[in-house]
Chains A and B, each alone.
Chain A
Amino acid sequence: MITYALAFALVCFSLGLILNLWRLVIGPTVADRVLALDTMVVNVIAIIVLYGIQTGLGINFEAAMLFAMTGFVGTVAFCKYLLRGSVIE
């Protein structure tokens, strides 16, 4: 039964990724695009974790951790640039 649930969750997160891409394209302000990118990172981490369950490989955890770190640093750097005009002062 968990096979079907995994497929369902993977389809849900992939549809969410497409919706985020739509917001990234039409986003009226820059902050909306940053938010869409941040949500895309979250969805990609979920897809990596679910794919790791499906294949049974334990190596996907490192990829998820790397995505979490780079996504956080990227979003904060974008916001810092929008707020102050420079990333590191």
Chain B
Amino acid sequence: MTVALDIILSILLVVGGLFGLIGSYGLIRLKDRMQRLHAPTKASTVGLGTALLVSMFHGLMIGTGFSWQEVLVMIFIFVTAPITANYLAKVHLHSRHYDGQTPQTGVSTDWATFDQTPEDAEPQLPSRDS
């Protein structure tokens, strides 16, 4: 049991470390700024996910028991990683729009993040009948 867990956790660690390194190498290697957004998401899901999994199951091997606290970090990372990626993609899209290099959408409407709804300077209260 302990030997099997040792082997499984070692394989997980090697895979996670390689994914983390490849994700950071892709950040250097890829040419376009939209492409560069792709590589670090692998480092944050597979790389960090395997490290947290190993940390959870390591207690079973040394006898201190399964630890649940890493699940919190995992949930937090997995929930917030797409939000930051979405915000960064929006920043890229807006800076390209400013430079006049936005790619075509292929449909009649423009990118949804450029939809501007005109706002009033002061919010209008609904009129009340006397």
Contacts and interface: CB of A to CB of B under 8 A. Distances in A.
B90 A72 contact: no
Interface in B39-55: 40, 43-44, 47-48, 51-52, 54-55
A15 interface: yes
A46 B77 CA distance: 11
Majority-rule SS of B interface residues: helix
Contacts, number: 153
Interface residues of B, number: 49
B28 interface: yes
A20 B26 CA distance: 10
Given A5-B14, A43-B43, A45-B73, 4 more contacts: A31-B92, A36-B27, A49-B52, A65-B76
20 contacts: A1-B10, A5-B13, A5-B17, A11-B17, A13-B47, A16-B21, A16-B43, A20-B24, A22-B28, A34-B88, A35-B36, A39-B27, A42-B47, A42-B48, A49-B52, A49-B70, A53-B55, A65-B72, A75-B87, A76-B83
